[in-house]
Amino acid sequence: MATIQFRPINGIFQCPSVSPLVQITSVHRNVTAQAQATASRTQRIMESISISGEVGGAGGAYSYNALTRLDEIWSRICSAQTVMPETQKVVTNIPDVSSHSDLAEKAVDRFDLVVCGGTLGIFIATALSTKGLKVGVVERNILKGREQEWNISRKELLELVEVGVLLEDDIKESTAVKFNPNRCGFEGKGEIWVEDILNLGVSPVKLIEIVKKRFLSLGGVIFEGYSLSSICTYEDAVVLQLTEGKILRSRLIIDAMGNFSPVVKQIRCGRKPDGVCLVVGSCARGFNDNSSSDVIYSSSSIKKVGDTEVQYFWEAFPAGSGPTDRTTYMFTYVEPQPGSPALEELLEDYWDLMQEYQGVVLDDLEILRVMFGIFPTYRDREYECIIALQFGDASGIQSPVSFGGFGSLTRHLSRLSTGIYEAITHDFLDSYSLSLLNPYMPNLSASWLFQRAMSAKPYANVPPDFINELLFVNFQCMQRMGDPVLRPFLQDVIQFGPLAKTLGLVMLTKPQILPSIFKQVGFPVLLDWFGHFFMLGYYTFLSTFADPVIRQFLDAFPSKMRYEWKRRIEAWKYGAGLDYKL
């Protein structure tokens, strides 16, 4: 009998009489099995999902490779000292020089306004096109919305109707799902239920398609597949050079390129964010109890992830893709420093904790999408306006509590579109005039304290459930004072009266919590916050009493003075949260 000899190849015993194809196949299967064995649960889940058509904008990417890339960016932010290395210089200012240069003269396409970043930028572009301006939009991808819904209230969507971006019928067409009631839950403490708060799931795919068609019908131009290379600002024009060689000339640029806009990085000189909201989540099929939503749900105690302690919070919404489809987000606030958890680490926690939170078994669910994001926030939202106005997430005017730009976009779109139109038509395009469109707003600066209070602070020497207790006490007090206090806060509007009433009631009903607040937040942050709180009251006074007096004389002012006072009056109103009506 012939003897068959076996020899190891790549650690696997192979028979020389077996065909090479079989040997290669066996080796491949072995390598694949080894890779699967070493891959994280997150990687295995994400690589098992079919990914089609990732898009730009926050939450538009779902692949494991995209997660890895974002974690690399996050790691670089954490490892930096105070300034991010290798800040790219995108903008070159050439003052007192006419645009009649070789580069400017090569610009074939000329606009009143160019918007860089289309996902949110298409909204401001359309609002200004309805006013008769010639507007162009530059988008490095195909301009379309992500698959995952935006959660918002109908009241906020009506703001888009008021500025002419949508028709009321468009709201119905783009709404994928409606649900009520909405819960604010505090594990082991209690629950508060409300109606019509973030209770619509709007399809970004349909919504952006509608707005895009309207923009094009108004004469707007979209440059899809183009990336920004550089911007040169002259005395009388701004010239954009795109990486594909196309040159655009405009009177003004709007930067809607998101949290990691290269223009904002240059303006901030690469400064690290003061805080970051890390978000992970998924949309899955198989939830039988799927009629209500969670606006916020806080777990009872702080958890250690790697070298950092974190406090997890949750949101959950029915999804429009099916009756048992549900989206759950887990988020936490951290300071960017070495040892901060990676998004993949948070996802590993998410798979376990989500089952307990939603009362489901992971193996019984079909994971449709995995979401993740990094949302930086700054205590100081003011910066020099060198040539571009910031819009959406790039503007930094979003609340650190909601961390998203779409809701903020709807509230500020009327103010911004009116101001930008006046600046362009009257040629008020100097740095000072443009800075009035992105003013100091004390209600947004005051909200920084909420993020700090919701962040786990090392060595604070507070009980593990302190954050949960603090939130429950505040929400309980707001509920006792009714909708005029509770509803604005739930829609990210901070007002002086409701805030003062809430703080007063908390101090009366739970005075023993005050020492822990000082330990958690820190005296310097509280001192800084009281300055913004005072300004919030001052802006409320100005908007209530000075605004009506000044408005009587606006028409008699010279055009430049009228423009400036209009912007100040808007800053008082929006900075005090008085633009919000129940």
Assess contact for 384 and 431: CB atoms under 8 A. yes
Q: Which residue has the tokens 């979209």?
A: 222
In this structure, the dihedral spanned by the alpha carbons of residues 99, 102, 106 and 112, taken in order and rounded to 10 degrees, is: -10
Task: Provide the pLDDT for residue 302.
Answer: 84
* First and final C-alpha spacing in the chain: 92
Among 10-24, 66-80, 258-272, name the most confident range.
Answer: 66-80
Query: Phi and psi dihedrals of 314, rounded to 5?
Result: -130, 155
Among 253-267, 334-348, 451-465, name the most confident range.
Answer: 334-348
Task: Provide the pLDDT for residue 450.
Answer: 81
**Region of residue 200 (left: phi > 0; alpha: psi -120 to 50; beta: else):** beta
User: 549 is written with which tokens?
Assistant: 């007096």
State the Cα–Cα distance between residues 120 and 405, nearest whole angstrom.
8
Helix, coil or strand: residue 54: coil
Query: Which carries the bigger pLDDT value, residue 44 or residue 59?
Result: 44
- Residue 275: pLDDT band by 50, 70, 90 thresholds? confident
Q: Nearest 5 degrees, angle CA 412-CA 157-CA 273? A: 45
User: Residue 17: is its pLDDT beyond 70?
Assistant: no
Query: Which carries the bigger pLDDT value, residue 29 or residue 514?
Result: 514
- Residue 505: pLDDT band by 50, 70, 90 thresholds? very high
- Residue 27: pLDDT band by 50, 70, 90 thresholds? very low
What number is the average pLDDT over the span 140-164?
Answer: 92
Assess contact for 237 and 335: CB atoms under 8 A. no
What strand order describes the sheet that includes 150-152?
150-152, 200-202, 175-178
Task: Provide the pLDDT for residue 431.
Answer: 85
Q: Residue 182: exposed, middle, or buried by beta-carbon count in 10 A (0-12, 13-18, 19+)?
A: buried
Q: Which domains does the chain have, with CATH numbers?
A: 42-78+272-377 (3.30.519), 91-271+382-439 (3.50.50.60), 440-581 (no CATH)
State the Cα–Cα distance between residues 171 and 193, nearest whole angstrom.
25
State the Cα–Cα distance between residues 243 and 90, nearest whole angstrom.
12
Assess contact for 443 and 493: CB atoms under 8 A. yes
- Residue 261: pLDDT band by 50, 70, 90 thresholds? confident
User: Residue 20: is its pLDDT beyond 50?
Assistant: no
Could you tell me which of 202, 248, 209 has the C-alpha nearest to residue 229?
248
| Coarse DSSP helix, strand, coil percentages of the chain, rounded to the nearest 5 percent | 45, 20, 35
Write the pLDDT tens digit of every residue in 465-502: 888 999 999 999 999 999 999 999 988 889 999 999 99
User: Residue 43: is its pLDDT beyond 90?
Assistant: yes
Query: Which carries the bigger pLDDT value, residue 452 or residue 422?
Result: 422
Helix, coil or strand: residue 156: helix
What number is the average pLDDT over the span 79-107?
Answer: 70
User: Residue 82: is its pLDDT beyond 90?
Assistant: no
State the Cα–Cα distance between residues 214 and 42, nearest whole angstrom.
40
What number is the average pLDDT over the span 244-267?
Answer: 88
User: 517 is written with which tokens?
Assistant: 């607040």
Task: Provide the pLDDT for residue 395.
Answer: 62
Quote the strand ranges of 58-159, DSSP E: 91-93, 109-111, 113-116, 135-139, 150-152
Task: Provide the pLDDT for residue 6.
Answer: 31
Task: Provide the pLDDT for residue 57.
Answer: 64
State the Cα–Cα distance between residues 57 and 344, nearest whole angstrom.
20
Q: Nearest 5 degrees, angle CA 278-CA 281-CA 287? A: 155
What number is the average pLDDT over the span 71-79?
Answer: 92
Query: Phi and psi dihedrals of 443, rounded to 5?
Result: -65, -35
Task: Provide the pLDDT for residue 29.
Answer: 43
What strand order describes the sheet that includes 253-255?
221-224, 135-139, 113-116, 253-255, 388-390
Write the pLDDT tens digit of every residue in 359-398: 999 999 999 999 999 988 877 655 555 556 777 766 665 5
User: Residue 71: is its pLDDT beyond 90?
Assistant: yes
Percentage of the chain lying above the pLDDT 70 cut: 85
User: Residue 1: is its pLDDT beyond 80?
Assistant: no
Among 210-214, 310-314, 378-382, 403-407, name the most confident range.
Answer: 210-214
Measured N-to-C along each axis, helices 496-509 and 483-490 cross at an angle, to the nearest 10 degrees, of 110
**Lowest-confidence range among 233-242, 299-308, 482-491, 536-545?**
299-308
Task: Provide the pLDDT for residue 245.
Answer: 84
Task: Provide the pLDDT for residue 559.
Answer: 96
Write the pLDDT tens digit of every residue in 199-212: 999 999 999 999 99
Task: Provide the pLDDT for residue 12.
Answer: 32
State the Cα–Cα distance between residues 353 and 55, nearest whole angstrom.
28
- Residue 557: pLDDT band by 50, 70, 90 thresholds? very high
Write the pLDDT tens digit of every residue in 559-569: 999 999 999 99
Helix, coil or strand: residue 306: coil
Query: Which carries the bigger pLDDT value, residue 18 or residue 438?
Result: 438
| Residue 216: C-alpha distances to residues 31, 130, 209, 221 (Å) | 51, 11, 11, 6
User: Residue 11: is its pLDDT beyond 50?
Assistant: no
**Lowest-confidence range among 9-23, 152-166, 263-277, 343-357?**
9-23
Helix, coil or strand: residue 170: helix
Query: Which carries the bigger pLDDT value, residue 100 or residue 147?
Result: 147
DSSP 482-493: -HHHHHHHHTT-
Q: How many CB atoms lie within 10 A of CB 265?
A: 18
User: Residue 332: is its pLDDT beyond 90?
Assistant: yes
State the Cα–Cα distance between residues 184 and 297, nearest whole angstrom.
6
Measured N-to-C along each axis, helices 343-358 and 64-79 cross at an angle, to the nearest 10 degrees, of 120
Q: What is the DSSP letter of 139?
A: E
Helix, coil or strand: residue 290: coil
Q: What is the DSSP letter of 271?
A: B
Please state whether beta strands 91-93 and 228-233 pair in parallel, antiparallel, or not at all (unpaired). Answer: parallel
Q: Which residues of 148-158 are buried (b: 16+ CB within 10 A; e: fewer)?
A: bbbbbbebbbe
Query: Phi and psi dihedrals of 225, rounded to 5?
Result: 80, 20
- Residue 192: pLDDT band by 50, 70, 90 thresholds? very high
What number is the average pLDDT over the span 271-281?
Answer: 89
Assess contact for 159 and 413: CB atoms under 8 A. yes
Task: Provide the pLDDT for residue 16.
Answer: 36
Task: Provide the pLDDT for residue 385.
Answer: 52
Could you tell me which of 333, 294, 298, 332 has the C-alpha nearest to residue 315?
294
Task: Provide the pLDDT for residue 453.
Answer: 83
Could you tell me which of 133, 100, 136, 142 has the C-alpha nearest to residue 121?
136
User: Residue 23: is its pLDDT beyond 50?
Assistant: no
Written in H, E and C, the secondary structure of 211-261 is HHHHHHHCCCEEEECCCEEEEEECCCCEEEEECCCCEEEECCEEECCCCCC
